[in-house]
Chain A
């Protein structure tokens, strides 16, 4: 018994080197590496502008952009909000229409073959070409921007909806049929949950595409929004303001995408992809 005590007292877990532990912590974290990357880029940028005496009209220093941003913070916030709700409304609209059409098309081959060409057309038409037309039709307000964001969202969400509804496991389908499940029951209990991973996958890209759509809409004619800010700033070659607006758009895109990823984590707890999440 005395021996045991001595053994437990003398036992020390192997001391891992501090440098190794730090490295492990860094690599596993999802916050510090991106932060380090961006800080690194900004430092290099700042140094480049200073050392090479780059004109602030060509490329402003990040410190100048930050100052501009903080000085007119409420101004940028106001315009950011406009672009934000244009993008989000457009995204939700495109998503809803795509989902409904996807439901119809997954159940009817006839409708699918008839409607798909229209959807493809909506996809291949360059949005920038259509935007001015929308301004003529719908004016300078919010509506045309929302529609543009919706159209951009529409096609990927439609394709993924149909794929999700159709890619059900053969065994699951036969099992439901053996119970004489109705088409509606098969849809609600099998096709719909099965399609969620596909929908989330498309949503993550579509949400940032919507932001782009809203900005493009604003370039064609607007009085508000970050796209409008960029357009005005470029008219007066106020590059610093352009950068401030661009940064806000980047933050917006990242936030929206991360929000979708957060919701996805909650909803798709059962999915194979959940094993990759930390």
Chain B
């Protein structure tokens, strides 16, 4: 019986970094499967390789051993077909472009991979900006906006780019707690509507439980997958859910697992 291939398959992947003769093993024997349309979080202390894993999936970094398949092809092939949209920790908005021009950027790059023209997406892009509350800023320049606003645009751009897989590398780390919560809910709403596959790196447990279908807990030195916790909370998720006992139980469970790493 042949098991149906998952959308994203990571098989026994290892990654080493060489610096000045010293070899650090960032990832060791990582195996993971991600289904289409799921929201997965990678959580763990610094040095557990979650960013490296994200970049390997996105074809930005090559692994030493193991295989990664994105819908049956290698990450690099998928990247060529613009299957990914990357949201880094600090908003990668070009300061010489307006907000709307930044939103159009994915459609102006690597046009070979485009199946439809950019024109068709124009009003969708504006709608997306409105849904994150920035509809009035389409002609503003990034340096006039706060970090939270810029990051919201980064997210809107990712969802508007047409790519089916979103890779987010601690996108809310640079924001304060209040903004973080607010944007988290906006992300939930956007994802609920567009249903992309999201791989979300974070070190915030509450965020991981609130947003994801599965939380992949990683441990460092070398980076391994400790456990994958299935979050069986109903969708769509909202603020009230955070008060529920089930929610708190998930948080405790994950926190306990993470604590095992540094408690002797």
Given contacts A172-B94, A193-B96, contact A179 B109 (CB under 8 A): yes
Q: How far is the CB of A200 from chain B (nearest CB, A)?
A: 13
A181 touches B109 (CB 8 A): yes
| Tally of B interface residues using CB under 8 Å | 28
Segment at the B interface, from A96-104, A182-190, A201-209: A182-190
For this complex, 30 residue pairs linking A to B, each with C-beta atoms less than 8 Å apart, are: A171-B88, A171-B89, A171-B90, A171-B91, A172-B94, A174-B86, A174-B88, A175-B88, A175-B92, A176-B109, A178-B58, A179-B79, A179-B85, A179-B106, A179-B109, A179-B161, A180-B79, A180-B80, A180-B82, A180-B109, A180-B110, A181-B110, A189-B94, A189-B108, A190-B94, A193-B96, A196-B96, A269-B141, A270-B95, A270-B96
Residues of B near A181 (CB, < 8 A) are: 109-110
Cβ–Cβ < 8 Å partners of B161 in chain A: 179
Which residue on chain B has the smallest CB distance to residue A175?
A: B92
Interface of A is mostly: helix
Q: How far is the CB of B104 from chain A (nearest CB, A)?
A: 11
Please report the C-alpha to C-alpha distance between residue A30 and residue B60 in the assembled complex, in whole angstroms.
Answer: 50
B76 to chain A, nearest CB (A): 8
Instruction: Give the nearest-CB partner of B157 in chain A.
Output: A175
B167 at the interface (CB under 8 A from A): yes
The contact string, 1 if C-beta is below 8 Å from chain B, for chain A 89-121, is 000000000000000000000000000000000
**A174 close to B110 (CB less than 8 A):** no
A172, A185, A272: most-surrounded residue (chain B CB, <10 A): A172
Contact with B along A36-68 (1 / 0, CB 8 A): 000000000000000000000000000000000
Q: Please, which residues of chain B bring their CB within 8 A of the CB of A176?
A: 109
The 8 Å CB contact of B60, one of A177, A190, A196, is A177
Q: Determine the chain B residues whose CB is within 8 A of the CB of A189 once the complex forms.
A: 94, 105, 108-109
Contact A178 to B85, CB < 8 A, known contacts A172-B92, A190-B94, A270-B95? yes
Question: Is A182 a contact partner of B110 (Cβ separation < 8 A)?
Answer: yes
Could you tell me the distance between the alpha carbons of A189 and B107 in the complex, rounded to whole angstroms?
Answer: 12
Contacts of A270 in B (CB 8 A): 95-97, 141, 143
- A residues near B (Cβ < 8 Å) are 169, 171-172, 174-182, 185, 189-190, 193, 196, 269-272
The 4 closest A-B pairs by CB, nearest first: A178-B86, A175-B92, A171-B92, A171-B88
Q: Is the CB of A178 within 8 A of B94?
A: no
B159 at the interface (CB under 8 A from A): no
> Quick check: A178 and B141 within 8 Å, CB to CB?
no
Q: Mark B108-121, 1 if CB is under 8 A from A, else 0.
A: 11100100000000
B residues less than 8 Å from A177 (CB atoms): 60
Assembled-state Cα–Cα distance A179/B80 (Å): 7
Q: Report the bound CA distance from A201 to B184 in whole Å.
A: 41
Q: What's the Cα separation between A175 and B86 when bound, in Å?
A: 6
Kindly state the separation between the CA atoms of A269 and B109 in the bound complex, as whole angstroms: 24
What residues of chain A lie closer than 8 Å to B97, measured between beta carbons?
Answer: 270
B200 at the interface (CB under 8 A from A): no
In the complex, which residues of chain B have a beta carbon less than 8 angstroms from the beta carbon of A185? 109-110
Q: Are A178 and B108 in contact, with the CB atoms below 8 A?
A: no
10 A-B pairs besides A179-B106, A270-B141 with CB distance below 8 A are A171-B89, A171-B90, A178-B58, A178-B79, A178-B85, A181-B109, A181-B110, A182-B110, A189-B108, A271-B96
Is B84 an interface residue, CB under 8 A from the partner?
Answer: yes
| Complex interface bits, B130-161 against A, C-beta within 8 A gives 1, otherwise 0 | 00000000000101000000000000000001
A174: chain B residues within 8 A (beta carbon): 60, 86, 88, 92
A185–B107 CA distance with the chains assembled, in angstroms: 12
A7 vs B80: C-alpha distance when bound (angstroms): 71
The residue from B91, B95, B96, B167 contacting A178, defined by CB atoms under 8 A apart: B167
- Residues on A with beta carbons closer than 8 Å to the beta carbon of B84: 178-179
Which residues on A sit within 8 Å (CB–CB) of B108?
A: 189
Q: How far is the CA of A193 from the CA of B94 in the complex (A)?
A: 9
Contacts of B89 in A (CB 8 A): 171
Q: Please, how many angstroms separate the alpha-carbon atoms of A193 and B91 in the complex?
A: 18
Within the assembled complex, what's the spacing in Å between the Cα atoms of A177 and B167? 13
Instruction: Write the nearest CB–CB distance from A193 to chain B, whole angstroms.
Output: 5
User: A205 CA to B79 CA in the complex, in Å?
Assistant: 43
